[in-house]
Structure 1
Amino acid sequence: MELRISVMPTAFGEKAVMRIFDPDIVVRSYAELGFDPHEEQLWRTLVERPHGVVLVTGPTGSGKTTTLYSTLKQLARPELNVCTIEDPIEMVASELNQMQVQPAIDLDFAAGVRTLLRQDPDIIMVGEIRDLETAQMAVQAALTGHLLLSTLHTNDAPSAITRLLDLGVPHYLIQSTLAGVVAQRLLRVLCPHCKREDAPDLDVWQALTRGHSMALPTRVFVPVGCIECRHTGYRGRIAVYEMLR
């Protein structure tokens, strides 16, 4: 178990936020991540290609890092050179050649990618594309025959293209190098010990599916709360995905 701690001074004393991080549950199978069989096939098609840029987008805390680590662990093989540049390294993995951003020595994401391109990589993972220079290096990696995975902070998959354009990446380079984008969110899962079946509510269903033609489900469950879920009604989370390719 690891903790990521942020401390700040306030008028009433120190304020601390601790983020609990368990490396044992970071790496999951595609099914455990929430991919259905069709989504898994699409994702494999994206990340098993020899070159191109694949982006995972979503707000902070939406599970992007878990998706990338799980993907890299499944792609890693002895004959492949899988390299990462991260800030920070959230999980140390022997199958990966990991490098951490070091601002004190001018090692940022862009400089890290530039260094990794000299290391004969097969797959590169960049923790985040934050600026034009990093985006340009990501495009350069794809143009020189490498697969590059990274993250962006956008609310949906199509907005990733707009974000790259805003950073200054020419549209023709985006078209020639961007293989696909996956946007994700985390949803709470009902506690299996106490969830209760309830009658479907047509009004709620129509509000949820507005703009789509979807049949009313025959079975619906609602949260209750028990000692197993600390009386919240929920236990665990699962991701939902939007894919663009």
Structure 2
Amino acid sequence: NKVTEKNRGLILVIGNAGSGKSTTLYSILQHKISTKYQLMTIENPVKYIFDNYISQVQIKKDKPDAIKDLVYEVSKHNPDVLMVQEIKDEMWSALIEELALSGMLVLTGMRAYNVLSAFKRLKRIEFPNFASIQCVINQKLLKKLCPYCKIKSVLNEEQVKFLGYKTDQITAVYKADHNGCSKCYGGYHELIGIFEVVKMSREIINLLNKDEHQGEEITKALGSACIMTFKEYASRLLMDGIICYDELNKI
């Protein structure tokens, strides 16, 4: 809710290829559906078609001049929320930043392993103004346990300590039955996203605007600005019996 309540600036969703960035962008957009908001998208291609309230525009000519003209035409409609599928290069970087500073909320994605690598990439493609970014959402996909054949498990002392809990706080956790059942393949069923959310701060923006590399300082500042970490999110899923402890090794 802290993310979706934003009404201006840029929300950046990052992750590896196939990590579900588009799904998250669509989910935020879905949450914004209302008769009081004008919602638009610029996509290539359109991956999901909304029935109502959202005007979706597909890029037909993937050439700089055509894209700039398209973005200009879309911006003339003064949308309250605009989803642009991905920051790909310097041109998209400049266009998206300009839109984000115009008073609308812009949602977009970018391939990056973590938040620091996303910022490094943005600096390489000369992203004009980090102050336009409201927050960064990093995501990964983990395997869900099959609800029909999962097995109760017990965590050892070291695992409990890693989670930051006390032994008496752990009610029940589960692991996969690798023999599986008729409902699954080897004890797992589908995937689920975990999220790390960083709210931009003045400290982070100032560090990013410096010419020299500030890796350690930025990493420390990111830790302070993190609303939710992968570990916290995954731990909740573990306690709810949705994933097993082994999946935390992928974080």
Q: Same-fold call, TM > 0.5? A: yes
* 1:114 Cα deviation from its structure 2 partner: 2.7
Structure-2 change in CA distance of 1:136 and 1:193 (3 Å): same
CA distance in 2, matches of 1:214, 1:107: 55
Structure-2 change in CA distance of 1:163 and 1:110 (3 Å): farther
Q: Deviations over 1:6-43 (max 9, x none)?
A: xxxxxxxxxxxxxxxxxxxxxxxxxxxxxxxxxxx322
Aligned match of 1:223: 176
CA distance in 1, matches of 2:175, 2:66: 46
Selected match of 1:103 from 34, 58, 61 = 61
* 1:100 Cα deviation from its structure 2 partner: 1.1
Selected match of 2:45 from 74, 84, 88 = 88
Q: Deviations over 1:101-124 (max 9, x none)?
A: 223676765554333111221111
> Is the 1:127–1:151 Cα contact (8 Å) retained in structure 2?
yes
Q: Deviations over 1:200-222 (max 9, x none)?
A: 1345566xx3xx74445453311
TM, length-normalised to structure 1: 0.72
TM, length-normalised to structure 2: 0.70
The answer to whether structure 1 residue 75 and structure 2 residue 32 are counterparts is: yes
The answer to whether structure 1 residue 190 and structure 2 residue 148 are counterparts is: no
Query: Could you say what the CA RMSD is over the residues aligned between the two structures, in angstroms?
Result: 2.2
> Is the 2:21–2:109 Cα contact (8 Å) retained in structure 1?
yes
CA distance in 1, matches of 2:109, 2:135: 12
> Is the 1:113–1:126 Cα contact (8 Å) retained in structure 2?
no
Q: Deviations over 1:40-93 (max 9, x none)?
A: x3223xxx3221000010011111111111221220222321111111101111
Selected match of 1:138 from 91, 96, 103 = 96
Selected match of 2:130 from 160, 165, 174 = 174
Aligned match of 2:12: 55
Determine what percentage of the aligned residue pairs are the same residue.
Answer: 29
CA distance in 2, matches of 1:105, 1:180: 29
CA distance in 2, matches of 1:106, 1:63: 27
> Is the 2:139–2:195 Cα contact (8 Å) retained in structure 1?
yes
Aligned match of 2:3: 43
Aligned match of 2:189: 235
Higher strand share: 1
Give 5+ residue unaligned stretches, structure 1. Answer: 1-40
Aligned match of 2:220: none
Structure-2 change in CA distance of 1:107 and 1:81 (3 Å): farther
Aligned match of 2:113: 155
CA distance in 2, matches of 1:104, 1:187: 34
